[in-house]
């Protein structure tokens, strides 16, 4: 993954006070749907380079952050803008669905 690894201790600095919108992928190593989403997230990270920060939170290694945002199933993708969650996508979605959500967050 070319994105950033977010942890409970780096989440505020990397996500909440980011100057640009941030796409956070909540995942786990054992999660097959997460592995299905990963190539799409890679592509989006490259496509939106400079406009969107993309990173991952491993829910098995970081329990505080997923709990703070009521992440109950994975994969869950949350787009943050100015420190606030603006869009949540749960489960495997198409690339078009992810792109629409990102475009809304960037332009909105």
Residue among 15, 23, 24, 34 flagged as catalytic: 34
Place of tokens 């097959």: 32
Residue 84 falls in the annotated catalytic set: no
Closest CA to 78 of 8, 34, 26: 26
| E strands, 1-108, in order | 4-6, 22-27, 53-58, 76-81, 84-90
Residue among 15, 22, 24, 31 flagged as catalytic: 31
Residue 2 falls in the annotated catalytic set: no
List of residues 6+ apart from 34 with CB closer than 8 A? 25, 27, 28, 74, 75
Q: Which residues are catalytic?
A: 31, 34
């Amino acid at each position: 993954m070319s994105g950033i690894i977010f942890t409970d201790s780096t989440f505020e600095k990397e996500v909440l006070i980011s100057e640009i919108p941030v796409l956070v992928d909540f995942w786990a190593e054992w999660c097959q749907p997460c592995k299905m989403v990963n190539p799409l997230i890679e592509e989006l990270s490259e496509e939106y380079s400079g406009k969107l920060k993309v990173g991952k939170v491993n829910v098995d290694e970081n329990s505080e952050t997923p709990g703070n945002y009521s992440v109950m199933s994975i994969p869950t993708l949350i787009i943050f803008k100015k420190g606030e969650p603006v869009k949540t996508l749960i489960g495997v979605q198409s690339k078009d669905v992810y792109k629409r959500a990102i475009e809304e967050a960037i332009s909105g």
